[in-house]
Amino acid sequence: MENTSSLSRKTTEESVGLSKKTRYMVETALMIAVTLIMGNTILGTIPTPFLKVSIVTVPVALATMLIGPTAGIICGIVFGLNSFSGALTGASGMLSTLFTINPFGVFVTAVVARLLDAAVVSGIYKLIHKGKLTQASYYITGALMPLFNTVFFMSSLCIFFYNTDYVQGLVSKYNAGNPFAFVIAMVGVQATVEAVIGCILAGTVGLVLSKVLHRA
């Protein structure tokens, strides 16, 4: 009788484990789909009179907060690969031009930068998501994901392409005297706006869903 009870308990535990694994895979796949949809449609941007604000980092942040760091990194890689495919097809004007100069540099700028963004922010979220910062961690993560995306993307862009004729043309356009001034002039305002929107949007949605889904 005791062996039967033990076997039944083991079977139940394995069933629960399979359920959690299946749920993890389904939720991750869902966030990958959302990332791709937002990355390829107008749903991934908020048009304003002055800027085209990207919110594609929102599902990456949500994956990190609601599913886990690995899911966030996966979505970050998907975001980057989708951007890289735009360079290959010509859909991304700047990256497509730079691809003809240095394909490897474009891969690092489009993919590796997004991987690093998701990995670093996921690590920060894991560190601060405890104690008094539990609720604030959602808003901090929502803000940092687009901010670090800009930092890593533009850093890679400058490392590989700053001295190219294409980027030097942009440097002249913005009258920038050095790489830092160029980055601030080109994306400083946009990065700030995206961080604020990410903070409000991803932070609020993440906090609400964490309560609805009973996530710690």
pLDDT tens digits for 46-76?
Answer: 876 656 789 999 999 999 999 999 999 999 9
pLDDT band at 13 (very low <50, low <70, confident <90, very high): very low
- Listed as own residue / partner, the contacts of 157-165 with beta carbons closer than 8 Å and 24 or more positions apart are 157/98, 157/109, 158/182, 158/183, 159/105, 160/98, 160/102, 160/104, 160/105, 160/106, 160/108, 160/109, 161/98, 161/101, 161/102, 161/105, 161/109, 164/98, 164/101
- Locate 194 and state its tokens: 């995206």
- Cα 61 to chain centroid, rounded: 6
pLDDT band at 178 (very low <50, low <70, confident <90, very high): very high
CATH of domain 2-212: 1.10.1760.20
CA atoms within 13 A on the CB side of 34: 20
Classify each residue of 195-216 as buried b or exposed e, where b means 16 or more C-beta atoms within 10 Å of its C-beta: bebbbebbbebbbeebeeeeee
Percent of the chain with pLDDT strictly greater than 90: 77
pLDDT of residue 91: 81
pLDDT at 39 exceeding the cut of 70: yes
Measure the CA angle with vertex 183, ends 178 and 186; round to 5°. Answer: 120
pLDDT band at 7 (very low <50, low <70, confident <90, very high): very low
How many angstroms separate the CA atoms of 5 and 198, rounded? 50
Residue-wise pLDDT tens digits, 88-102: 988 888 899 999 999
Give me the amino acid identity at 78: V
Q: Please tell me the least confidently modeled range out of 36-40, 132-136, 143-147, 192-196.
A: 132-136
pLDDT band at 17 (very low <50, low <70, confident <90, very high): low
pLDDT of residue 52: 76
pLDDT at 166 exceeding the cut of 90: yes
Average pLDDT of span 161-186: 94
pLDDT of residue 153: 97
Q: What is the DSSP string of 58-96?
A: HHHHHHHHHT-HHHHHHHHHHHHHHHHHHHHHT-SHHHH
